[in-house]
Structure formats: structure tokens, C-alpha cells
Structure 1
Amino acid sequence: MSAMKRPLEGVKVIELATFVAGPCCARYLADLGAEVIKVESFQGDPLRFTAVNEGRPAGEAENTSYDLENANKTCICLNTKSKAGREAMEKLIASADIFITNWRQNALERSGLDYESLKERYPKLVFGIVSGYGEKGPDKDLPGFDFTAFFARGGVMGTMFDKDNLPMNVIAGFGDHQVGMNLSSGILAALYRARETGYGDKVVVSLFHSALWDVAIMLQSAQYGHPSTQYPISRKKIANPLQVAHKSKDDRWLQIAMPRYDFFYPKFMEVIGRTDLIGNPRYYPQSALQDNLEEFYEIIKESIAKEDISVWVEKLTVADLPFAVAKTWNELLVDEQAWASDCFHAMEYPTGATRTLVRPPVLFESTELPPYKRGPYLGEQTEDILVQLGYSKEQVKAMIEAGDAMPHKAQ
């Protein structure tokens, strides 16, 4: 069977968004075949200028962060505050199926780009918006990043660390990527309905709500008050020690995952060489274990510490028990499974470097892998897009001279 066309070919997306979550969503739609036009201010998306945070070269020649979120798009630079720039923005939206933004409500309303205004003119338009805390409630207008609205306010940073240690070092993009994929899910559903009925919708995804969804199992469990659910907690007191990472003799962390404690316990005792504990009423069944958690934790800790990680990998693999070695980022970059399953793409840059970039985590069996074209330079397609909107070359030149639009300026 020959490869089918990508599923969103013929769909047009206008993106007025910065940083990660909104652009991530639009990039995924571009991978699915949509035409995505990114609208940037003359200053550019701030993500273009975060090199110092990531230890990479400054400038546009090798911007892996920007490419990750903006591959397969084109870019137009407009002054949306000027009359002519705003008119061009209106023409772009009029030609689109989907509009994606992370502007806050007040800014959208001032520009006439809020959903209530747009749906009157374009009832079929699907409007996707990323926010920090949602569109309702006392904090709806607060600025939100994943460090704050997702990790901190969303119950991740304040709970998911060993009580005896400091909170985790959070990383950029972790919550944003989840928000972007959540938003794409809602947008695709709304697009389907728009095609069926002629009416679009506003799709709202927030960092805060996405974090609550991610921690939902434990958030719901916490209300029952059992000590094992009151995070942050000491790793020695987690209700199921077969869900905790333990350190090997060569200082590698081995994460085991055996949620059905009673089912896995006898087999795991065999693997770690403690068959003498099979059926021990202090540790089995799990209900009895709860009075002896720290004691049993120390038994597992001491057992795992007796062998190098390679020994545990072999033993657990043979026993068909669920586990993984905690990998570093440098190890992941050369992970055979990641490359074999098309998680990565090798991007060649004008600097002469080849860098590993991650693909969005949705693949299709009968559709070829999408291209991984670098993100557009600032204003790279400004003139071409304006011409496609019906402006003459003379009009485009006049807009550029008047400061209504900006073409790419080579660095």
C-alpha cells in the first residue's frame, strides 16, 4: 500500500503565539499536513532568544529550541497595531480554518481578535487558546508559564519529591508540550464538527488544568487522608515500595513499576535473591506491609545495592518484570530504541553541525513520516504571504516602508 497523504493537507492554521505551548500545538498540526503561518511581531517570538538558557549558539543559524516548536511553518512579521498590519492580519484569519493564540484576553479584546469578535465574522473558525489558569475565575488574567502555573500551582513541584530533600529542578517545556498536545486534540475535534455543521468553537487549554489532570490519581487519593497519599512524602513511606527507584552498586537508579504488589511480590523476591521472604506475613499481602514499610524499603534498598545495574537489567528482563534504568539526556540522545522507533530526527544546520531533534509523539502506519523543516527565520516569508493574500508587490513594498510589515533581515 502506498503512503497516504497527511491527514490535514488542505487545512490552514494561523498562529499568533509565542514560547512553547501554542507553537507546539501548531507545529503538530503542521506535521499532520496543515499549512501553518506563524505571525510574529518585529521583535520576534522570545523563544528565538533563549540560547543562554540552553547552552547553544546564539543567533538563527542553529536554533534547536525554536525549530522544535516551529518546524514546517512559514513566518510573516506584521505590526498588528497599525491599520494596514491589522488589515493583513484580518485577511489571514479570513483565509484560515484554525486560529491559535496564547495572548491574554485583554490584549485580544483590544485588538478585536477575541473569540466573540471573530466568530461573528467567521462562524466556521476554530479558535484555540492557551492560558495559564483558564478563562474563568479570579486568576484568569494572571501570566502563566509552566514553571509557575503547571509545576508550582498545579501540584507537581510541591509534592513530587522526597520529603527529606529539596523540590525538583523543573525544566522548560515539560508542561507546555502537554498543553500543546491537549490543545491539538480539542482543535481537531472542533475542526471535525466545523466541517460537519459549519460552526466552529473556542477550545481552551490551560497549564493549570493540564497539571491537575496529570496528578489526578493522587489528587483524588489525597482526600481520603491516608498517610501514604500525603505528599511530599519520604520514599521510605510510599505505600508500595515496588514502585520506588532504588540505587544499584554502580550508582545507577533502577525504577521498578509493580502496581499489583501482591501479584508481583513472589516473583520479585526470587529475582533479588530473597526467596526466604515469600509469604512472610510482615510484608505480604500489601495490607500487612503498611505497618512495616520502612523496614521492607531497607531490605529492597540493600538488595539492589549489591549488584551493578547491568546485572539487574538482565535478571529483570529474563523475569519479564517491568523496570527501566533512569537515563540521562546524553544517554537518550544515543538510545537505540528511540532512534529505531522514529522518536528523533537528525537536523543539519548551516553551522555544519548536526543536532538531534525530537518528533511529536504521534506516528501513523500508512502515512510517511512528516518532513522536519527548520522553523522559519523571522519574517522569512512575509513578502510571499502578503502576495498570496492579494497584495501587489508595490503594496507590499509600501507596507514594509511604512512599518506595517517586516521581511527577513539576514544576520
Structure 2
Amino acid sequence: MTNPDRPTGPLAGIRVLDLSRVLAGPWCAQMLGDLGAEVIKVEQPGQGDDTRRWGPPFLDDGSRDSAYYLCANRNKRSIAVDIASPQGADLIRALAAKADIVIENFRVGGLAKYGLDYATLSAIKPDLIYCSITGFGQTGPDRDKGGYDFLIQGMSGVMSVTGRPDDEPGGGPMKAGIPVTDLSTGLYATISVLAALNHRNRTGEGQHIDLALLDAQVALLANQASGWLNGGVVPRRMGNQHPTITPYQDFACADGDVLIALGNDRQFVALARLLGVPALADDPRFAVSAERSANREALFAVIKPIIGRWTCDALIAALDAAKLPGGKVNTIPQALAHPQIEARGMVHDLARDDGTPVKVVGFPGKFSRTPATYRTAPPRSAQDTAAVLAAELGLSADEIAALVSAGVVAERL
């Protein structure tokens, strides 16, 4: 395991002050940490990140930290500082003066009253990169509203195209099974921060990044947004079907369901041959992608009964042999235990400072020269307060004890 005091990776030497909590901001900061940045996570004394209590399940080590918290906070040091106190705000400003990046997700204007906003901190450190993550952004009529993943999935239009059609059993809008809005915003935040770092490397200039959950989720509408903007088509819920390519969904076999996802006409020719109905590929209703989508129900009337006679394993083996995309719907345990995931080294074992084991899903990018590293497990709240204040700001043990006594900072909860 890499020495946590000597991080390596493409971002080695970069310092991040993480003032965020819950998921989008911490997700961004964790990725920066995986890539070698030194990350200091700032939490509220006596409380910590909200997600520490978002369970069950919880880690059975006395901290009662939730599994949810553990997914987004490795490779960080945790300190607890009361930013509402003048002394606490002074400490954060001193840490920001030594940082390259600040990440925060307070409501618009929420940090200005403490002198921790971009205008104040950039006056102290002009080349600072300051990323603000909010529900709706720093401008616009909804700028002062709070935003959560579920709310934004609905407002952005994602739920209007997710789930079964209204006229089917179980029909209606459905959120994604993971917090896709928070995660995508964290990804966009990381991309934005890295772009700002490159600009700073060229010009010496820092800047403020204004990132909204709603903007990020609307950006992910991708082909569905383009279909409306450029074709006037109002997207609708189609269950597991694809709006423009067919077949691209789940099919019932004799002993379960199999996914078939074809992306072109050549693959359809091969599937028709595999299913024993090669003439389908010459039928003008199905020969090209657009016609297959327009006549999907007629196509399904032919192929669904044939697929229903196969077993799942036999069909998947036949699809693999024909080099056609197909597979099962895995559970999360099945996915994490999949031989391909194991071969790619996606699950990592870490340990907290008391030896408590923690498993994490790693960074997916495989760097040939500067790989991601997994140096420290997600920290207990405030476990590094004294060490950080001493090492980064030069405070003595007596000065730290006085701050603890005054309630300005807290040590491990």
C-alpha cells in the first residue's frame, strides 16, 4: 500500500480543501484524491457529514459510519472546524491559502457571511480554483432553492423517460437506482477542476466554477434532448426498450431474462441467423434500424416466442459465439464478483487506523504511468484535526487544546 504521506499519481502535489458534504462534492474530492491529490475534508464539530448517518447498513467499528459515507470519502483527512466562529473561519482561510482547490456545496451566498466565499479567498490566493456545487447554480430564478438528487431527476426530465409506459402494469415515472444526478455532477466537477488546473498551469490564473445539479442532469439528457431539439419528438417512457435502435432490451427465456443490445444492421443479420429466422434480415420492415424501430411490435411477435424456448445460459453462449452483445441482469453482489470486474481490479481492501476493514470500488481509469492509488480508508469524523492543524498551520498542542476547549474545533468523535 502506498505511504499516505507520499501520495503519487497524476495529481501528486495538488492540495484540495473539501468543504462539501453528502455526495456530489465528496465524489469529486475522492476522485481527485484517488489521482494523487492531498484532500482535507472539513466537517461540522459534533455532527460530521450528513451521510455518516445515512444507513443502515453501518460499519460495526464503534463509529457507526454508514456504508453510504464510505463510498465517497477515501483518500481524505478529516478535520472538524466550526466555520461559524471567527476563529474557525480564520483556520479555514489559512488552509485555503495553502490549497490549490476548494470544493463547497453550501447554498448560494452561504459562505460569504463567514468570509469563505470565492471573492474573499481568491483575494488571499489569486490562483485558487474554487468549485461551488449547488442545486440550481449561482444565477437564475431558482438560485436560492436547495436541490437533492431525486428532486433534480424529476425536474430535469430524466424520470419522464425512465420506467414503464403509463399504460403498462407498474407504469409511471421512476428514478434511477443510483443517485445519478449527484454522481454525474461530481464527475462534471472533476472535469471542470482539471480543466481549470490546466488553465492555471498555462496562465497562473485561478477561477470560480459554478456547477448546478440541474445543469449537469440536463446535460446528460444527450440523445433524448437532441431528439426534441432537432426532431420535435417528445421522448416517452419505454421501459427497457431503446427509442431508436431495436432489439435493445430484455427478453424472457425459458428460465429467466436475457439482455440483447444490438447497435447496427450487421448484428441484426447475425441475430436473425442465430434464431433460425434469417429471412427477417431481408424483410423491408426489419432490414434497417429505423424500420425495425418503427415496426418493433411486429418484430417482437416473431422473435419473442423463439427466444422463449431458449435457456438463458444457452442463448448467452450462442450470442457470445456470434460476437453479439448479450447478458444477464446481475445483482450488485453478482456484478462485484464478476470475473471481469475481478480481473480489472475494481474492488479494493482498505483498513481504518484501528484495523477495521473497509472495501471500496476503485477508480475505473487505468493509467499506464501514474495509476490511481488507494492510500487511506474513509476517515472517522475529525480523526485528523490535531495532526492537520499542527502540520499545515504549525499550531502547538496547547493552541489546539485551547481551540478544542472553546468548541472551535473537535477531535475524533
- TM-score for both structures, normalised by structure 2: 0.89
Which residue does 2:3 correspond to in 1? none
Q: Please tell me the residue identity of whatever aligns with 2:131.
A: G
**Paired residues of 2:241 and 2:248 also in contact (CA < 8 A):** no
Equivalent residue runs for 1:298-317 within 5 Å: 298-317=301-320
Cα distance, 1:128–1:234 mapped onto 2, change above 3 Å: closer
2:48 maps to 1:44: yes
Equivalent residue runs for 1:120-269 within 5 Å: 120-149=123-152, 151-163=153-165, 164=168, 165-223=171-229, 230-233=235-238, 238-252=243-257, 254-260=258-264, 262-269=265-272
Q: How far apart are residue 281 of structure 1 and its match?
A: 2.5
- Name the CA distance, whole Å, in 1 between partners of 2:243 and 2:37: 46
2:364 maps to 1:361: yes
**Paired residues of 2:381 and 2:412 also in contact (CA < 8 A):** yes
Q: How far apart are residue 160 of structure 1 and its match?
A: 1.8
**Paired residues of 2:83 and 2:89 also in contact (CA < 8 A):** yes
- Name the CA distance, whole Å, in 2 between partners of 1:79 and 1:287: 59
Cα distance, 1:408–1:391 mapped onto 2, change above 3 Å: same
Q: Deviations over 1:309-329 (max 9, x none)?
A: 111111111111122322111
Q: How far apart are residue 57 of structure 1 and its match?
A: 5.1
**Paired residues of 2:347 and 2:360 also in contact (CA < 8 A):** yes
Cα distance, 1:268–1:353 mapped onto 2, change above 3 Å: farther
For the residue of structure 2 that corresponds to 1:105, the secondary structure is: coil
**Paired residues of 1:96 and 1:125 also in contact (CA < 8 A):** yes
Q: How far apart are residue 64 of structure 1 and its match?
A: 3.2
Cα distance, 1:348–1:80 mapped onto 2, change above 3 Å: closer
**Paired residues of 1:347 and 1:356 also in contact (CA < 8 A):** yes
- Name the CA distance, whole Å, in 2 between partners of 1:73 and 1:234: 40
Q: Please tell me the residue identity of whatever aligns with 1:302.
A: P
2:32 maps to 1:29: yes
Could you tell which deviates more after superposition, 236-245 or 277-286? Answer: 236-245
- Identity level (%): 28
**Paired residues of 2:58 and 2:64 also in contact (CA < 8 A):** no
Cα distance, 1:5–1:16 mapped onto 2, change above 3 Å: closer
For the residue of structure 2 that corresponds to 1:152, the secondary structure is: helix
Q: How far apart are residue 193 of structure 1 and its match?
A: 1.9
**Paired residues of 1:78 and 1:405 also in contact (CA < 8 A):** yes
Q: Deviations over 1:19-78 (max 9, x none)?
A: 1110111111111111111110011101111123x4765952664332221101111111
Q: How far apart are residue 6 of structure 1 and its match?
A: 1.2
**Paired residues of 2:196 and 2:207 also in contact (CA < 8 A):** yes
Q: 1:84 aligns with which of 82, 87, 99?
A: 87
Q: How far apart are residue 79 of structure 1 and its match?
A: 0.9
Q: Deviations over 1:172-231 (max 9, x none)?
A: 53322221121111111111222332210112222212222222211110245676x631
**Paired residues of 1:39 and 1:77 also in contact (CA < 8 A):** yes
Could you tell which deviates more after superposition, 24-33 or 162-171? Answer: 162-171
2:399 maps to 1:395: yes
- Name the CA distance, whole Å, in 1 between partners of 2:10 and 2:292: 51
Which residue does 1:407 correspond to in 2? 411
2:70 maps to 1:67: yes
For the residue of structure 2 that corresponds to 1:244, the secondary structure is: strand
**Paired residues of 1:7 and 1:33 also in contact (CA < 8 A):** yes
Q: Please tell me the residue identity of whatever aligns with 2:224.
A: M
**Paired residues of 1:16 and 1:100 also in contact (CA < 8 A):** yes
Structure 1: tracts of 5 or more residues without a match: none
**Paired residues of 1:105 and 1:114 also in contact (CA < 8 A):** no
Q: 2:114 aligns with which of 107, 111, 114?
A: 111
- Name the CA distance, whole Å, in 2 between partners of 1:291 and 1:369: 45
Cα distance, 1:9–1:307 mapped onto 2, change above 3 Å: same
Equivalent residue runs for 1:302-341 within 5 Å: 302-341=305-344
Structure 2: tracts of 5 or more residues without a match: 1-6
For the residue of structure 1 that corresponds to 2:32, the secondary structure is: helix
- Name the CA distance, whole Å, in 2 between partners of 1:176 and 1:311: 39
- Name the CA distance, whole Å, in 2 between partners of 1:55 and 1:406: 22
- Name the CA distance, whole Å, in 1 between partners of 2:352 and 2:85: 35
Cα distance, 1:354–1:395 mapped onto 2, change above 3 Å: closer
- Name the CA distance, whole Å, in 2 between partners of 1:159 and 1:11: 40
- Name the CA distance, whole Å, in 1 between partners of 2:41 and 2:178: 21
**Paired residues of 1:147 and 1:171 also in contact (CA < 8 A):** no
**Paired residues of 1:239 and 1:293 also in contact (CA < 8 A):** no
